[in-house]
Chains A and B, each alone.
Chain A
Amino acid sequence: MNPATWMMRRVRGLLRRRALEREMQEEMAGHLEQAAERFRARGLPADQAREAARREFGNVALLQEEAREARGFRWLHDIGADLRFAVRHFRRHTATAVLIVAVLALGTAANTIIFSMLQANFFRPAPAVPADPAHVRLWAEERATPTARFTPRGFTFPELQALAGRRAVFHDLAAWTDDDVILDAGDSTGARSLHAQFVTPNYFTTLGVPVAAGRSFLPGTSGATADAPELAAVLSTPLAALLYGTPSAAVGRTVRINEVTVLVVGVAAPRFQGAIRNMDDAALWLPVSARAELARLSPSWLSDAAVLALFARLAPGASRAQATALTQQVVTATLPDSATRVGMTRRAEVLALQALPPGEETSEMALAVSFVTLIGVVILLVAWMNVSSLMVAAAVGRRHEIAVRLSLGASRWRLLRQLLAESTLLALTGSALGLLLAWWELSYMARTEVEGVDLAPDLGTFAFVAGMALATGILFGLSPALHATRGAVANALRDSGAGAGTASGGRARLQRGFVVAQIALSQPLLVLLATMLSLVLAGYQPLTPAMSRHVITADVRPLATAGAPGQGQEAVDSLLRRIAERPDVVSAVPEARGFALRGIVPPGTPVQGTAGARPTIVHLEGAAPGWFALLDVPIVLGRDVALADSLAEGPPVVIGSDLARALWGGTNPVGQVLASPPLPGSGQDSVRLTVVGVYDATRPTTRGAPSAAAMGGTPTYRVYTAHGQQWRRDRLLVRTRGPAAPVVPELQRFVRTVAPSLPVSSMLTLAQADAEQSREAFRVALLAGAGGVLALLLASLGLYGVVSLAVRQRTREIGIRIAVGAVPMAVARMFLASGVRVSALALLLGLPLSIAALKFGLAQGLIFAIPVNPYLIGGVIAALQLGVASAATWIPARRAARVAPATTLRVDERAGGGVGRRSQGEPPRAPELAEASRELAAANAGGGVSRAGGALSRAGETVPGSGEGGRRAAGLVGRVAGVGGARAVER
């Protein structure tokens, strides 16, 4: 029988299981009835006939079992039984089960999210682009001299044509170049700035992306032509829906793009945003031939500028190596002789469409990807190690049960299967929960956060992660299962602690080491996260309510193209003037912009040749006249910046009162000159800054916190100048007479009528912008916090498992301790202390790692400053970790305190044949007494004898009760037996 048929029968059998079971019952019953009839016909009475029929038939139950096996149901029955047993077991041990499932869910969720993001960012084609192995991307880079670094380079149109002619290699070759355009659909919503791609006419057909309505561009004479005469646009589905409701309603409309009338000929497939995954998704596509006209470029730009991004569909049989060789040849051939003489070289490579470009950035990216993947794997491993340790602890607690079952004849395999069923059940539940969590988070992220990548949860990823979780679940379940079923039955029956104590000493050490590593590693992570968090919170500085409610901030996108540099600025300036004329507006100025960091040397120190004088770093900001007044920041000395400063030599600056105090103390700084030598490696000129005014630096502005010094870090000095007119052209601030919120819609209408071609991308009050910013900060904080909590939780669960195991293994010892007079709470404290010692050790180890992490973060730009004293952050994190660790330790430690002496001694009784029972009639036997006294003596002397050794002796110092008990131990042996006996009698 071929495997497919076999499978089919199995599946059908499974589905028809109940029916087949019923049929079997009916068939066998029928047989028995007929046989009985036969016997009755021979003259037997009814009951004897039935009996005879049954004898003839054989053992019905056994045969039915065999019959089920013949059908292949046995395993199903067994699995069902195992799972039912597992469910029952976990119902009795809810806390452990919930913990394990929680760890797994968190680990799986983190992993799924990581893998989905990786997949979305690196392995999937861009949204709506069919996956086609023949799709390739052409890359080129060049360097000016043999020693220079290679930099990425686009292709020119002649190169495109040269390559497109080679049809044996490139079946289709298409190109695009990106640009922003201003689109005015002629409706009431006004002009908007959009990201557009100027593409060759075969762009859509080469990609295989269909249109949702209309058509794509008409191919010219060749596949890639520059002279398609049409001024046509293909809109993205979201844009078409926004402007006209439906894709089909958009076709045939005309829109104004950069003030040129363009016909909408089609709408691209839904979700299509461009050939490759890109952060700024294209909203519309225009013919590359139209770019000169739309962007006011000279008609020759296409042949001069190397700005085209190329992709292709390889011809059947053509290889990427062939394509690479051809491309290399073409880009080298177009090198001018003058360039080759100075050693300019180019190289090209043809890669899969979605592959990252070759070069340094990519190797960094690959490093980052493997790092992220590693994190994912480590998270899963850590989660599983912790689960494994929890399960070992649970298994040790069940040694007695397992031993009983083994001695009753259960095979080891049967018990292994049982334990594996339990871990598999946990793995399944945990993974399912984790996937649910991940799905929820991913769909949330897909909706809100990441654009341009297809984050929609993917079945393949889910299957992969679920499969991995299940495999690791079984793998890691195997270790505790093997562990629990190992060892002699008699041993386990005699003593629930001893066997485990020796057998798993190595395991316990391993686990402890692992937990130390976890806590030590989670500390730098937490410190880094906390630092990032405090930066986010410090960077977010609420503005004074009065001011923020009276200021509107508007983002505009002036048409600032290469062909018309002054046009955008003029439009913005005239708009500002018109807005300021409105009766409900006090003033309107462009927003300030930080444009340089400069070092200034304190006055009085020589500028050159002083190694000792460290320059003070100032942020140089471009501000327009009136900017301070608009934000209610008083000029306390001197004057505001002025337009006349714009061309002045030795930039006139308005400095903050904080810098004035730091440099000159109480004296008037106005008129002073600050020397600013170039910062090392900045390539700056040396300049002199003339102080013309001082603003009140304690007042908040839109340019950051009033004084970072309050946060305990280095203060940020902001120095403003109108020199060079460095303020922002794309953001306006408008101060209103009354509350700003009601003015916003009116102002929007006003801008549309006054400057119809100027797109306003957002307009809201500062208070609203603030709220948005704080929401954003909150989200970042939440994400970072969630990561930190996950790490903390995982480490704590590991610790919980370790202490749990210790308590289980030493149940008997604890019982004896309490029996001889130790205070239960003192026992709990002992375990707590051991747990805390482990975490304290880990934190000590983590300290240098944390410092390294901070340095790494600073070096990598993850954090740009350490806003708070790093030792404070480290201390707070360590305290937090210790707190959580103590809590995790306290739960099992308290369990130790609840151990009833009778419970442990009861285990002894069974082992020795019943001390209690015998003590009713005869005294306990000598060997038992000797053993008990040996243990107690060990506790007393503190010698490292056998299992009671080290731990007990340590405890002898810390636990007052046991020390006292130890002293009296020798005399108490009889009483121990007596207690056991008395309890046994009570029962």
Chain B
Amino acid sequence: MAHTPLALLQGTLDLIVLQLLRAEPTNGYDLSLRIQATSRDVLQVNAGSLYPALYRLEERGLIASTWQETPKGRRAKVYSLTPAGRKQLAAARADWQRFAGALGAILGTA
């Protein structure tokens, strides 16, 4: 049986965005490509779903945005992590690892 792409767990998209932005500031389009690439197409994300997440994060002050010129001469909004976002990411990562560890323990013993 072929693997069907997993539906995104609630709230994980925010975590993914924060993690990817930690490496370098990126625009929305590149971010969507990166999600697909790094998750090796396991995660099924509508490219468009990224935007509500981005706006939500920006509203909460975890990321910031500026309009910049891309190398191809296109105007694009580039998002970057704010200090608050960095803190939030660290906390979320720790939470995730605890969660994953617990889940692993349960699944491993089952």
In the complex, which residue of chain B has the Cβ closest to the Cβ of A58? B46
Contact B49 A58 (CB under 8 A): yes
* Shortest distance from the beta carbon of B5 to any chain A beta carbon, whole Å: 13
B52-A66 in contact (CB<8A): yes
Q: Are B55 and A67 in contact (CB under 8 A)?
A: yes
Contact A27 B48 (CB under 8 A): no
Per DSSP, chain B at the interface is helix
Q: A9-B61, A13-B59 are in contact. Are A30 and B75 (CB under 8 A)?
A: yes
B46 in contact with A56 (CB, 8 Å): yes
A31 adjacent to B47 (CB under 8 Å): yes
Given A5-B61, A9-B61, also A57-B52 (CB < 8 A): no
Q: Shortest Cβ distance from A18 into chain B, in angstroms?
A: 15
Nearest CB of chain B from residue A26's CB, rounded to whole Å: 7
Asked if A964 lies at the interface with its beta carbon under 8 angstroms from chain B, I say no
Known: A30-B74, A35-B47. A70 touches B55 (CB 8 A): yes
CB–CB B47/A72 < 8 A: no
Closest Cβ–Cβ distance, residue A8 to chain B (whole Å): 10
Residues of A within 8 A of B49 (CB): 58, 63, 66
Considering only residues 1-55 of chain A, those with a C-beta below 8 Å from chain B are 1, 5, 9, 13, 23-24, 26-28, 30-31, 34-35
Shortest beta-carbon distance from A550 to chain B in Å: 84
Instruction: Check A56/B47 contact, CB under 8 A, given A13-B59, A23-B77, A31-B29.
Output: yes
- Verify A31–B32 contact, CB threshold 8 A: yes
Q: Chain B residues with Cβ under 8 A from A63's Cβ?
A: 46, 48-49, 51-52
A66 to B61 CA separation, bound complex (whole angstroms): 18
**Quick check: B75 and A67 within 8 Å, CB to CB?**
no
Which of A23, A26, A63 counts the most chain B CB atoms within 10 A? A63
The interface residues of chain B lying within 8 Å CB-to-CB of A57 are 46-48
Of B48, B55, B60, B75, which contacts A60 at CB under 8 A? B48
| Contact across chains for A69 and B52 when beta carbons are under 8 A apart | yes
Residue of B nearest to A53 (CB): B47
Interfacial residues of chain B within 55-81, with CB under 8 A of chain A in the complex = 55-56, 59-61, 67, 74-77
- Name the interface residues of A60-99: CB closer than 8 Å to any CB of B: 60, 63, 66-67, 69-72
- Per the 8 Å Cβ criterion, residues 23-53 of B in contact with A are 28-29, 32, 46-49, 51-53
Other-chain residue from B28, B32, B48, B55 in contact with A71 (beta carbon distance below 8 A): B55
Give the CA-CA distance A70 to B56 in the complex, in Å: 5
B109 to chain A, nearest CB (A): 39
Report whether B28 and A31 are in contact in the complex, using a CB–CB cutoff of 8 Å: yes
Q: Which of B51, B60, B75 contacts A24 (CB 8 A)?
A: B51
User: CA of A57 to CA of B32 in the docked complex: distance in angstroms?
Assistant: 10
A59 beta carbon closer than 8 Å to chain B:
yes
B51: chain A residues within 8 A (beta carbon): 24, 27-28, 31, 63, 67
A31 to B56, CA, bound (A): 18
Nearest chain B CB to A440 CB, angstrom units = 44
Cβ–Cβ < 8 Å partners of A67 in chain B = 51-52, 55
Nearest B residue (CB) for A26: B75
- CB-nearest residue of chain B to A20: B55
Contacts of B77 in A (CB 8 A): 23, 27
Which residue from chain B places its CB closest to the CB of A72 in the assembled complex? B59
Interface residues of A in 775-830 (CB under 8 A from B): none
CB-defined contacts of B61 to chain A, threshold 8 Å: 1, 5, 9
Q: Which residue of B lies closest to A23 (CB)?
A: B77
Tell whether, in the assembled complex, residue A59 and residue B56 are in contact, meaning their CB atoms are under 8 Å apart: no
- The residue of chain B having its C-beta at the shortest distance from the C-beta of A69 within the complex is B52
Most buried by A among B28, B59, B61: B59
> Closest CB of chain B to A534's CB: distance in Å?
68
Q: Which of A30, A31, A60, A72 has the largest count of B CB atoms less than 10 A from its CB?
A: A31
Residues of B within 8 A of A66 (CB): 49, 52
CB distance from A307 to the nearest CB of B (A): 68
Contacts of B48 in A (CB 8 A): 28, 31, 57-60, 63
By a CB distance below 8 angstroms, the chain A residues around B55 are: 24, 67, 70-71
Tell me the bound Cα distance from A27 to B74 in angstroms.
Answer: 11
Contact residues in A for B29 (Cβ distance below 8 Å): 30-31, 34-35
| Residues of chain B lying within 8 A (CB to CB) of residue A59 | 48
Contacts of B59 in A (CB 8 A): 9, 13, 70-72
Chain B positions within 8 Å of A34 at CB level: 29, 74
Q: Compute how far the CA of A27 lies from the CA of B26 in the bound complex, rounded to whole angstroms.
A: 13
Most buried by A among B46, B47, B75: B47
Digitize A377-409: 1 where CB-to-B-CB distance is under 8 Å, 0 elsewhere: 000000000000000000000000000000000
Tell me the bound Cα distance from A16 to B28 in angstroms. 21
- Interface flags for B63-107 (1: CB within 8 Å of A; 0: not) read 000010000001111000000000000000000000000000000
Chain B contacts of A71 at CB under 8 A?
55, 59
Specify which chain A residues have a CB less than 8 angstroms from the CB of B76 in the assembled complex.
Answer: 27, 30
Residues on A with beta carbons closer than 8 Å to the beta carbon of B56: 70
Q: Closest residue of chain B to A33, judged by CB?
A: B74
Most buried by A among B32, B52, B75, B76: B52
Among A13, A60, A63, A70, the most chain B Cβ lie within 10 Å of the Cβ of A70
Bound complex: CA A58 to CA B56 (Å): 18
Cα separation A31 to B75 with both chains bound (whole Å): 11
Q: How far, in whole Å, are A21 and B56 apart by their CA atoms in the complex?
A: 14
B18 → chain A closest CB, angstroms: 15
> Does B52 lie within 8 Å of A70, measured CB to CB?
yes
Q: Which residue of A lies closest to B53 (CB)?
A: A70
Q: In the bound complex, what is the Cα–Cα distance between A650 and B101 (angstroms)?
A: 119
- The smallest C-beta distance from B7 to any residue of chain A, in angstroms, reads 14
User: Shortest Cβ distance from B20 into chain A, in angstroms?
Assistant: 16
Q: Which residue from chain B places its CB closest to the CB of A38 in the assembled complex?
A: B33
A174-226 at interface with B (beta carbon < 8 Å): none
| A27 CA to B52 CA, complexed, in Å | 12
Given A1-B61, A67-B52, A70-B59, A27 contacting B28 (CB threshold 8 A)? yes
Q: In the complex, A9→B64 CA distance in Å?
A: 13
* Complex interface: chain A residues within 8 A of B74 (CB): 30, 34
Contacts A28-B51, A30-B29 known; 7 new A-B pairs at CB < 8 A: A9-B59, A27-B77, A31-B29, A57-B47, A63-B46, A67-B51, A70-B52
Q: Which residues of B contact A (CB under 8 A)?
A: 28-29, 32, 46-49, 51-53, 55-56, 59-61, 67, 74-77
28 contacts between A and B (CB under 8 A): A23-B67, A23-B77, A24-B51, A26-B75, A27-B28, A27-B51, A27-B76, A28-B48, A28-B51, A30-B29, A30-B74, A30-B76, A31-B28, A31-B29, A31-B51, A56-B46, A56-B47, A57-B47, A57-B48, A58-B48, A59-B48, A63-B46, A63-B48, A67-B55, A70-B52, A70-B53, A70-B56, A70-B59
Q: List 8 tightest A-B contacts by C-beta distance, closest first.
A: A58-B46, A58-B48, A70-B56, A70-B55, A57-B48, A66-B52, A63-B48, A70-B52
